Structure 1
Amino acid sequence: MNRPIGVIDSGVGGLTVARELMRQLPKEKLIYVGDTLRCPYGPRPKEEVIQFTREMVDFLLEKNIKMLVIACNTATAFTLEMLRNELDIPVVGVIQPGARAAIKTSQNQHIGVIGTEGTISSQAYPQALKHINPSIHVNDLACPRFVPLVEMGVLEGEDAYQVVAESLVPMKEQNHIDTLILGCTHYPLLSSTIQEVMGNDIKIISSGDETAREVSVLLEYYDTFSNGYHPPQHEFYATGDRALFENIANAWFDSPVEHIEIITLGT
């Protein structure tokens, strides 16, 4: 089935998931929507996140997508079950895959989670982790300064290190954790700095790899793998600054990103 897979995010963070989807599923066409104009979603009220997410989904449904990937932890926490009930296509979030990866990785069952205010307040990760293993110990921390840093393209260097180091002080004090979930898809863009601050003994988990595996399983289950013979022409849409989106995308992907368009969502 040569219909595309839709991927949505509050901004550029979901590109970390999109890259892994491209790597694992090279025949599948992706249509990516990043709401860069209204990013970040983390501090926004739940109702607003739901509204903005619906607007991105409606845009993608017009593109006849065969599956939706919510590549935003805040949107996953607030809308995943709702969208699964409303849509007649498979809907994949990033929280459950990230939780599963962390449990497989942790040796001492002490896991840290960092994310936006919305994701952390939702308690979606502790619930997902404890649903799998009730004996898991979870320490979570909101890092509201990370997403604006990434959206500005400040991914490395002294400024990035200072923000990350200051933000992670409470998590570093939890010196019994051995695994840290990057509970926001923007955070892998800061992963080298986060690893430097936390130290090499801490295993860093981002959900892109596991999310792509889940997408692959669902494509097989529903027999909807693309059977195209030519490399897919992915499409990227953003609601904010095109040049900034393009710069970050080109820095993150192995080849230049084409077909970037600026769209308007809502009224």
Structure 2
Amino acid sequence: MSDKSERAIGVFDSGIGGITVLKALRAALPHEDLVYLGDTARLPYGTKSPETVTAYATQATKHLMEHGVKMVVIACNTASAVAIGPLTEALKPLPVIGVIEPGAKAGVAATKSGRIGVIGTEATVRGGAYMRAIHALDPKAQVTQAPCGLFVTLAEEGWTSGEVAEAAAKRYLAPLFKGRNAPDTLVLGCTHFPVLARIIKKVVGKNVKLVDSAATTAKAVEAALAEQGLASRRRGKGKTRFLATDSAERFARVGGIFFGETIRPKDVELVDIRPS
């Protein structure tokens, strides 16, 4: 394919949660072809070491490159936190977009008090990427963080409501929202978390603004495509291709919850991205 602008955008995540970003991309960029890779055989990334996450992200990106993509979107907060630097350097001049900076930007724009809460995986919170990104935009912002690893499992299982999900939300979030100086904004620092937004909102209260980085990431992708002359010029609807490293049936069943559309198991291609 000689025209780079008509190549697909590659998107990857540790599992299915990144489909929230894919959905936002599909809405913002309807004419673009998208290839989504979920590394479902090795999720979650959030409990892995930075070295392991970087290795997995590199393998996922390498596989996407074999599909001739024009851009890589890291639809995983953990991988964005630890691997965006190495991937950006390795793939130059190919654009690489993560979800941390767009999410931080949205959080700073949403807060009125300057108090921002961030929830994510253990690795994302431990690495402090959101705190650094938020303070780069607003040095005076008060940032409090909490790891909510069980949310990933609940989202992947499709347990997005009910007693179990609510109990987990209360256990994780109650300490974060105690007292007068509680955050007025909560950044959902994991792409799995938006499907739990209703239960999270019930626990933190209607006055707390929830920030999902998916829509902001889609805007960042749109801007990068325009800046580099890579936006598709086709008029028809772009194609969406799904790749997974394990269980097409489960990917389709749970992925449909994230995508808001039915995904058929036969439309999910199983791939092996591990080095041979």
TM-score bracket for the superposition, by shorter chain length: over 0.9
Q: Displacement, 1:112? A: 0.3
Q: What residue in structure 2 maps to residue 58 of structure 1?
A: 62
Q: What residue in structure 2 maps to residue 76 of structure 1?
A: 80
Partner secondary structure for residue 204 of structure 1: strand
Q: What are the within-5 Å matches in structure 2 for residues 3-152 of structure 1?
A: 3-87=7-91, 88-152=93-157
Q: Displacement, 1:257? A: 2.9
Aligned length: 267
Q: Displacement, 1:53? A: 0.6
Contact 2:152/2:192 (8 A) holds in 1: yes
Q: Distance in 2 between matches of 1:241 and 1:254?
A: 20
Gaps of 5+ in 1: none
Give TM-score, length-normalised by structure 2: 0.94
Q: What residue in structure 2 maps to residue 265 of structure 1?
A: 273
- How high is the sequence identity, in percent, across the aligned residues? 37
RMSD of aligned alpha carbons: 1.2
The C-alpha deviation readout for 1:16-74, integer Å capped at 9, x for no partner, is 00000000100011100011111111110111101111110010000010000001011
Q: Distance in 2 between matches of 1:24 and 1:173?
A: 37
Q: Distance in 1 between matches of 2:156 and 2:246?
A: 10
Q: What residue in structure 2 maps to residue 188 of structure 1?
A: 194
Q: Distance in 1 between matches of 2:161 and 2:8?
A: 33
- 1:256 matched to 2:262? The reply is yes
Deviating above 6 A after TM superposition, structure 1's stretches of 4 or more consecutive aligned residues are none
Q: What residue in structure 2 maps to residue 205 of structure 1?
A: 211
Q: Displacement, 1:249? A: 2.2
Partner secondary structure for residue 252 of structure 1: helix
Task: State the AA in 1 paired with 2:223.
Answer: V
Contact 1:110/1:137 (8 A) holds in 2: yes
Q: Displacement, 1:230? A: 2.5
Q: Distance in 1 between matches of 2:138 and 2:256?
A: 39
Q: Displacement, 1:162? A: 1.4
Name the stretch that deviates more: 105-114 or 169-178: 169-178
Partner secondary structure for residue 145 of structure 1: helix
Name the stretch that deviates more: 59-68 or 79-88: 79-88
Q: What residue in structure 2 maps to residue 172 of structure 1?
A: 177
Q: Distance in 2 between matches of 1:255 and 1:45?
A: 34
Task: State the AA in 1 paired with 2:109.
Answer: K
Partner secondary structure for residue 33 of structure 1: strand
Q: Displacement, 1:254? A: 4.0
